[in-house]
Amino acid sequence: MGLSTTVASIIIFYVMIVATVVLAGIFIKSFRVLNNLILQVQEYKNENIKIDGVEVINNSDNFSLQINVTNTGNTLIYDFEHCDLIISYTSEGKPLVLRETYSQYPTDNSSEWYIAYIVLIGNYTIPYEPPRGINPTETAVIYANLPSPPDTNTTIEVVFATPKGAKSYYEFFYSG
């Protein structure tokens, strides 16, 4: 009876050690997942943008918008393929809502947008070279092609949003 009690005690001790190691591993993995989620939330909170201005450009009956988007947050903005640019306006008396697609380089496609320049501190402008992002305090000068000209005396609305949820809305009256 003494030997069986000793063997049972050793088995119970071994099971307790294995259970402790397994639970510690689960706790550490859960902590890592939670820590990563906290870091992602902090990064999302640090991303912020502002549309500083929008202008209608008419180049030989090809209309586009010049949109100035400033990074007012504390983190780099990139991944433009997943950013949303939505434009709403009236053309030929009909309301249009466009979701433009990002293009790395200038295009004539009527539903695409691209970054032409980056404005640095002190209004120093450099040409945009993909895959560069927009650093904090920098402004991206974006051109968005329009499939048809906006009517005169109409309101144009622009929304720009990043994949992490930073967004900006701009509305202005176009007099033609």
**Average of pLDDT values for 107-135?**
89
Strand partners, 85: 100, 160
Query: What is the helix (H) or strand (E) element at residue 11, kind and residue range?
Result: helix 2-45
Instruction: Round the average pLDDT of the chain to a whole number and report it.
Output: 87
- Taking Cα atoms as reference points, which of 153, 169, 173, 166 lies closest to residue 74? 166
Q: Check residue 5 and give left, alpha or beta (phi > 0: left; psi -120 to 50: alpha).
A: alpha
- Residues near 175 by beta carbon (within 8 Å), at least 6 away in sequence: 152, 153
CB 133 within 8 A of CB 76: yes
Distance CA 123, CA 52 (A): 14
* pTM attached to this predicted model: 0.75
pLDDT at position 42: 57
28-37, 59-68, 81-90, 129-138: least confident range: 28-37
Q: What is the pLDDT of residues 50-86, one digit of tens each?
A: 999 999 999 877 899 999 999 999 889 999 999 999 9
